[in-house]
């Protein structure tokens, strides 16, 4: 049996699939990359996308070829390490799903699947499908923290938190820092990521203290590292595996405008956050 591309495929009736992969191969960021074609056979619809790539890599190793390099860690949708663009969509066709949680049942026997790395100026390719996302860590270092004494946990009711703020903060805290929002954006903007961090920390009393500096410093760092600006395309929200909302970008813009207004030439603030 052959598909529309003329490829022979399995169709063996036991649910196992033959898939035709077009994968971006690149030795390092200073060398040119190219798409390479591979065929994987006997793929169960119940395995994950990364397990399918593991099978491909086993085949490549057996044949004495270089395995495909890709990023992954938890494989449970919580660390944000996996980072593939699958058929043009960061994290692939399943909404609210990281690449590691995408299963092969989303594809059909005989499908051709195009797999590329996240593409953005701030994310140079390390090798093949793995990109360097240290720029997101640098944004976090510039303000994505609170200063608090560690030690025994304080009594839970000693700091009252408005219910609405607690909910919005927790929703924003779901961001796993994967960078899919950057990869999906025409401008390679990291505004959804930064907006999530600013909401997560700034909406709680513990994070309010450094709120103004946080917003200002994180946005400045984002610009410095080569991320673009937001032009309200909303591609970021569409691909975010954690459902981070655009309203976080609106909050970021409002708070950045106020922080910029309050900023003094010596780097201090004209008045406190209120
Ligand atoms: S906002 Fe969403 S897409 Fe962007 S880094 Fe966070 S989890 Fe990933
Ligand atoms: S490998 Fe951790 S979220 Fe995918």
Whether residue 170 sits in one domain with residue 253 = yes
Measured in Å, residue 187 CA sits from the centre of ligand 2 at: 25
Counting residues of the chain whose pLDDT is more than 90, the rounded percentage is: 82
Whether residue 246 sits in one domain with residue 139 = yes
pLDDT of the residue at 265: 62
Specify if 188 maps to a domain: yes
**For residue 48, what are the domain limits?**
17-127
Measured in Å, residue 82 CA sits from the centre of ligand 2 at: 5
Give the CATH number for residue 74.
3.10.20.30
pLDDT for residue 8 is more than 60 = no
pLDDT for residue 26 is more than 90 = yes
Specify if 8 maps to a domain: no
Measured in Å, residue 175 CA sits from the centre of ligand 1 at: 5
Whether residue 140 sits in one domain with residue 121 = no
Cα dist. 89→6, 58, 225 in Å?
Answer: 25, 26, 24
| Mean pLDDT in residue range 23-36 | 97
Measured in Å, residue 239 CA sits from the centre of ligand 2 at: 15
What pLDDT digit, counting tens, does each position of 116-169 carry? Answer: 999 999 999 999 999 999 999 999 999 999 988 888 888 888 999 999 999 999
Whether residue 179 sits in one domain with residue 112 = no
Whether residue 142 sits in one domain with residue 107 = no
pLDDT of the residue at 72: 98
pLDDT for residue 11 is more than 60 = no
Element (H, E) at 42: strand 34-43
| Mean pLDDT in residue range 264-272 | 61
Task: Report the alpha-carbon distance of residue 139 to residue 218 in Å, rounded.
Answer: 6
pLDDT for residue 173 is more than 90 = yes
The residue contributing the CA closest to ligand 1 atom 1 is 193
pLDDT for residue 28 is more than 90 = yes
Answer whether 96 contacts ligand 2 (Cβ < 6 A).
no
For the CA of 236, the nearest atom of ligand 1: 3
| Mean pLDDT in residue range 2-12 | 54
pLDDT for residue 269 is more than 70 = no
pLDDT of the residue at 3: 52
Answer whether 178 contacts ligand 1 (Cβ < 6 A).
yes
Q: How many domains does the chain have?
A: 2
The residue contributing the CA closest to ligand 1 atom 6 is 175
CB 136 within 8 A of CB 210: no
What pLDDT digit, counting tens, does each position of 195-225 carry? Answer: 999 999 999 999 998 999 999 999 999 999 9
Is the four-CA dihedral 260, 264, 270, 272 of positive or negative sign?
Answer: positive
Answer whether 139 contacts ligand 1 (Cβ < 6 A).
no
Whether residue 141 sits in one domain with residue 244 = yes
For the CA of 177, the nearest atom of ligand 1: 5
pTM: 0.92
Whether residue 250 sits in one domain with residue 192 = yes
């Amino acid at each position: 049996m052959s598909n529309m591309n003329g490829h022979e495929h399995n169709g063996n009736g036991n649910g196992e699939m033959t898939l035709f992969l077009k994968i971006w191969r690149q030795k390092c960021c200073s060398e040119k990359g190219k798409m390479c074609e591979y065929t994987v056979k006997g793929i169960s619809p119940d395995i994950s996308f990364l397990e399918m790539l593991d099978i491909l890599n086993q085949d490549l190793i057996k044949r004495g070829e270089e395995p495909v390099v890709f990023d992954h860690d938890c494989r449970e949708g919580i660390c944000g390490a996996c980072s593939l663009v699958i058929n043009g969509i960061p994290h692939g066709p399943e909404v609210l799903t990281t690449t590691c949680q995408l299963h092969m049942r989303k594809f059909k026997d005989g499908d051709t699947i195009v797999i590329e790395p996240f593409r953005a100026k701030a994310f140079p390719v390390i090798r093949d499908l793995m990109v360097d996302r240290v720029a997101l860590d640098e944004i976090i270092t510039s303000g994505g923290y609170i200063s608090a004494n560690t030690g025994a946990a304080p009594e839970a009711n000693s700091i009252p938190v408005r219910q609405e703020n607690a909910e919005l903060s927790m929703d924003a805290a779901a961001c796993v820092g994967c960078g899919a929002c950057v990869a999906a954006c025409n401008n390679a903007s990291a505004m959804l990521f930064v907006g999530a961090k600013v909401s997560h920390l700034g909406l709680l009393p513990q994070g309010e203290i450094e709120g103004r500096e946080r917003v200002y410093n994180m946005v400045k760092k984002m610009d410095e590292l080569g991320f673009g600006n937001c032009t309200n395309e909303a591609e970021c929200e569409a691909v975010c595996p954690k459902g981070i909302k655009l309203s976080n970008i609106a909050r970021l813009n409002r708070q950045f405008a106020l922080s910029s207004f309050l900023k003094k030439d010596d780097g201090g603030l004209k008045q406190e956050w209120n």
